[in-house]
Structure 1
């Protein structure tokens, strides 16, 4: 990105968030997890973070969604600077699947996941006027939001073995991915982040997964996806494992080329920062199963909470460390 300064965003920008990263780096107890990451993605861009397991891909995704605190460089998401506005970035971004952070509960059914997320959205993200609606109106609004998200994620509920009553443990890998994305889309985020996009997918399912993410980006949402191999048409950010490394990923369209330099150990980011306060292995803002009181308090955070201190508890980061992932 050279000498380009971190940009700002105005109200005239599309729904998706501009992501501007300049010399971004995160350091853990064992050294740098990633370093010197620089790129710019316009609203509605599809950004693919590729690289081997343990090369800092997941931690970069969490840092750019305000769930881990970077120590070096600058970044802005939707005009909000990181790490100073981490809580605000969390409010305009959403996580799809991130193993060890917000995994689907295998005992829950698809309907239970969807209803719970709709309840959380209504309780903490709705206007006062919406909360005062009649129960029937609130139920209809929740159903409409569910239907909108399910349709956008391409999840065919009728095709599932038991329809909405299908347990997560009985879902195919691609179906589970679609469900996690549907849950994230219920918050109508400006930035959607998905980990392990192509993990354990057949070639046909991988093509479907990328087609889904392209459709979401085309609709205006900026998409950040971690993968082992990026498609040719995405803005490609490549992380490297080892002492140091540099690469110049290929970019398409009007997206600018990006460079990353990454050093990592698999548990380097374990105690750097935690995605959400008091949420254990599931950050409250992205929970997909039963919400605790701490979860609810975190989801309802206000602008006054918009400080980096709000993310220094270790819950979800410890869970990420336990998976041996970065």
Structure 2
């Protein structure tokens, strides 16, 4: 049974093929509501595209997936309605010129304008302001971001935030809409080992609170359900889920998420990753017309 908060996820032969080939393909896994799902794989294996597809921002072309009871690719708009993006390069990045307070205020205004009911707009202004403050405080607490610890408190510019602080802010902004699914890209990028542990602790708390978390990373924590992607040219067995997933174990041999690529594979992966990022805006626009 579907949780009133978290969204269950499942995929079978899930893939996305574009004019330049497969962004990702053959993805299979199943995760219950409130799960912590880590997406791993080498650069260029479609991790970000998979994240965007499972949140209704990109249209898949093969297989099937179900998110929160909604089938993909048919119900993209419905999935977008209850999912939220944390930091995703080129899609939902923080503005370095804005302060923390400005980001929070902007998101609160957008939530009131587009996320609330028409009746809520008729409530007294003071009541609406108090409700917005409560939402902000709850989201900041869930993300573990204490504004008093920042160099200039809420007036701190995003450009002056540490990497972990920026990650916490992005997650807090995503949580303000009360999503059932939150997706985070490059979770452990440029984080020290201690900060990486703190980041996963934060996301685990979010999942424990009932919100399903889908996080792209280079190294997954032991308690996450792990979904591996592979480079577009790899026609081996489909990616499988580990750490609590239902698919069978992968065949013996080097893990595609940790094997050291050759020079040619590295160049191909880099080219594919650049191509994927260039296609993201068009894919999102196309999804919006679905």
Give, in whole Å, the separation in 1 of the partners of 2:247 and 2:203: 20
The aligned residue for residue 288 of structure 2 is: 310
1:8-55 CA distances to partner (integer Å, 9 max, x unpaired)? Answer: x65xx3410011111100012211111110111100100000112211
Give, in whole Å, the separation in 1 of the partners of 2:185 and 2:248: 20
Paired residues for 1:118-197 under 5 Å: 118-197=108-187
> Runs (4+) of structure 1 moved beyond 6 Å?
258-264
CA contact (8 A) 1:273 1:311 kept: no
The secondary structure found in structure 2 opposite 1:266 is helix
> Normalising to structure 2: TM-score of the pair?
0.87
Give, in whole Å, the separation in 2 of the partners of 1:169 and 1:207: 23
Q: Which runs of 5 or more residues in structure 2 are unaligned?
A: 251-255, 258-267
Q: Going by fraction, where is helix more abundant, 1 or 2?
A: 2
Distance 1:259-1:105 versus aligned 2 partners, 3 A rule? farther
Give, in whole Å, the separation in 2 of the partners of 1:104 and 1:218: 26
Distance 1:124-1:103 versus aligned 2 partners, 3 A rule? same
> Normalising to structure 1: TM-score of the pair?
0.78
CA contact (8 A) 2:23 2:232 kept: no
The aligned residue for residue 94 of structure 1 is: 84
The aligned residue for residue 243 of structure 2 is: 251
Give, in whole Å, the separation in 2 of the partners of 1:201 and 1:258: 32
Give, in whole Å, the separation in 1 of the partners of 2:248 and 2:90: 28
2:212 corresponds to 1:222: yes
The secondary structure found in structure 1 opposite 2:30 is strand
CA contact (8 A) 2:76 2:287 kept: no
The aligned residue for residue 211 of structure 1 is: 201
**1:30 is matched with which residue: 14, 20, 32?**
20
Distance 1:272-1:176 versus aligned 2 partners, 3 A rule? closer
CA contact (8 A) 1:67 1:273 kept: no
The secondary structure found in structure 2 opposite 1:155 is coil
Give, in whole Å, the separation in 2 of the partners of 1:32 and 1:275: 14
CA contact (8 A) 1:57 1:226 kept: yes
CA contact (8 A) 2:85 2:184 kept: yes
Please, which moves more after superposition, 92-101 or 235-244?
235-244
Q: Which runs of 5 or more residues in structure 1 are unaligned?
A: 1-8, 278-307, 313-326
Equivalences, count: 270
CA contact (8 A) 1:16 1:221 kept: yes
1:96-142 CA distances to partner (integer Å, 9 max, x unpaired)? Answer: 00011111000100000000000000111111221001111111111
CA contact (8 A) 2:150 2:156 kept: yes
Give, in whole Å, the separation in 2 of the partners of 1:93 and 1:122: 17
The aligned residue for residue 50 of structure 1 is: 40
Give, in whole Å, the separation in 2 of the partners of 1:229 and 1:248: 16
**1:241 is matched with which residue: 228, 231, 240?**
231
Paired residues for 1:285-324 under 5 Å: 310-311=288-289
